[in-house]
């Protein structure tokens, strides 16, 4: 395989040789497309000509009546409007597939098949095409044809049951974690399939189910039950038997998360507290002992943290090598010197908002880092660029398709 020295082209993005056709809408599929676009893939997002992806309307705050979520989830993509329910629209997709590497969709199973865009058909057009399918329950099994949202996948995958306080019903994480996890695993699967294609020359189907993506994050939950007869419960801010690791109050009314459950770190914490004898106390001398006396230990630490201002407490903990951190919201992220030094928040030009800030690309590649090239596009902004430049349609042909509500 030929290699390229990034130093020869510092603007080169690592996935710029991949073209992705993104079909579907909302979050589970589009977030996968965002991840690939962040590293340079040419993601062509196909949207309904009438209203586009509903994400264009989602979000709590809507300055100028516009979504603040859309510019993030569609960043770096090209928008093309195609009516996928028409034969001509489906033929346009086939033409795009012939020149692409990945087709990404998150429709209910059977939808592509009804449109004549099933994998065997796509493979005849392009043997190397990778079809990435994101659904609630996957492409097979008795639940495959059920409607499935991210929230349902979170419930069935196990994360909802263990999230929240023990005296409250199961809670959500505050973000669409099920959709995002499925999208992240879909992006991983897509790149694995593309890598395998370099060996075999063949594409394949990547079948990502939301509930399975959540299940994959549930640590030892299954063997804890099958071998230990233990069912994890909601525990709020603490992880049972892992102590100390909790949120503690400070004198000035803030909260600080301190994680010192490892023996050596706990010893350093007791020195910071001025109570080194706690490290030798039989109730706290080992990981197991601290776990068994977790509540008692948390009370001791909370009394100490409540006697100090947040800044003084942080300085003391850092001096003793004890992991700690404040609970951040957006305002704290925007002013934190570490966030600023690593450029975790970037500013992009937006046609309606002016300067717009959002999170940067992760993970951070030292040789070929990703880059956010532009915010989510206007509906159909790249119709002529893609349909004309890539597919070779004339201005008159595109106009005729528009008149027939195909694009």
Is there a contact between 34 and 389 (Cβ–Cβ < 8 Å)? no
pLDDT of residue 128: 97
Q: What is the pLDDT of residues 23-46, one digit of tens each?
A: 988 889 999 999 999 999 999 999
**Tokens found for residue 58:** 């989602």
Is there a contact between 214 and 149 (Cβ–Cβ < 8 Å)? no
Other beta carbons less than 10 A from residue 194's beta carbon: 20
- How far apart CA 220 and CA 134 sit, in angstroms, is 25
pLDDT of residue 59: 77
| Fold category of 6-217+345-403 in CATH | Rossmann fold (3.40.50)
Gyration radius from the chain CA atoms: 25
* CATH 3.30.1540.10 at 245-328, yes or no: yes
**Tokens found for residue 6:** 């990034």
Q: Which residues contact 261 (CB under 8 A, 6 or more apart)?
A: 242, 243, 244, 245, 287, 290
β-pair partners for 389: none
Domain ranges, ordered by start, for the chain: 6-217+345-403, 245-328
| Active site residue ranges | 179
- How far apart CA 288 and CA 284 sit, in angstroms, is 8
Question: Do the domains 6-217+345-403 and 245-328 sit in the same CATH topology, yes or no?
Answer: no
β-pair partners for 130: 102
pLDDT of residue 2: 37
DSSP state of 278: G
3-state helix, strand, coil in the chain (%, to 5): 40, 15, 45
Is there a contact between 384 and 60 (Cβ–Cβ < 8 Å)? no
What residues in the chain have per-residue pLDDT under 70?
1-10, 61
Q: Which single residue is written with the structure tokens 């233990």?
A: 230
Nearest to 103 by CA among 88, 73, 75, 123: 123
């Amino acid at each position: 395989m030929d290699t390229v020295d990034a130093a020869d082209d510092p603007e080169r993005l690592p996935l710029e040789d991949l073209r992705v056709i993104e079909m579907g809408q909302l979050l589970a599929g589009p977030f996968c497309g965002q991840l690939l676009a962040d590293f340079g893939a040419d993601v062509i997002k196909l949207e309904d000509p009438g209203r586009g992806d509903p994400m264009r309307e989602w979000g709590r705050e809507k300055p100028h009546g516009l979504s603040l979520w859309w510019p993030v989830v569609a960043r770096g993509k090209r928008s093309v409007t195609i009516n996928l329910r028409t034969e001509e629209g489906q033929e346009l997709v086939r033409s795009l597939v012939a020149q692409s590497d990945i087709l990404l969709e998150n429709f209910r199973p059977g939808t592509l098949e009804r449109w004549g865009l099933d994998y065997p058909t796509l493979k005849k057009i392009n043997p190397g095409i990778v079809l990435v399918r994101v659904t609630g329950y996957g492409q097979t099994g008795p639940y495959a044809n059920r409607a499935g949202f991210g929230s349902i996948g979170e419930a069935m995958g196990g994360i909802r049951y263990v999230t929240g306080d023990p005296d409250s019903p199961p809670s959500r994480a505050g973000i669409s974690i099920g959709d995002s996890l499925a999208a992240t695993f879909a992006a991983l699967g897509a790149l694995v399939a593309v890598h395998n294609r370099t060996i075999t020359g063949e594409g394949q189907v990547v079948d990502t189910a939301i509930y399975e993506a959540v299940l994959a994050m549930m640590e030892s939950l299954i063997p804890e039950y099958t071998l230990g007869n233990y069912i994890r419960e909601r525990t709020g801010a603490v992880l049972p038997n892992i102590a100390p690791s909790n949120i503690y109050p400070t004198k000035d009314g803030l909260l600080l998360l301190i994680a010192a459950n490892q023996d050596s770190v706990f010893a350093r914490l007791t020195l910071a507290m001025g109570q080194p004898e706690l490290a030798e106390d039989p109730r706290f001398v080992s990981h197991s002992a601290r776990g068994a006396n977790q509540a008692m230990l948390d009370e001791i630490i909370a009394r100490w943290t409540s006697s100090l201002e947040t800044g003084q407490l942080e300085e003391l903990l850092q001096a003793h090598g004890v992991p700690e951190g404040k609970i951040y919201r957006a305002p704290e992220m925007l002013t934190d010197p570490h966030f600023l030094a690593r450029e975790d928040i970037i500013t992009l030009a937006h046609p309606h908002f002016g300067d717009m800030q959002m999170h940067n690309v992760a993970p951070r590649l030292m040789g070929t880092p990703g880059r956010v090239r532009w915010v989510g596009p206007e509906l159909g902004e790249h119709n002529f660029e893609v349909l004309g430049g890539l597919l070779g349609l004339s201005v008159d042909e595109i106009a005729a398709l528009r008149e027939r509500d195909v694009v």
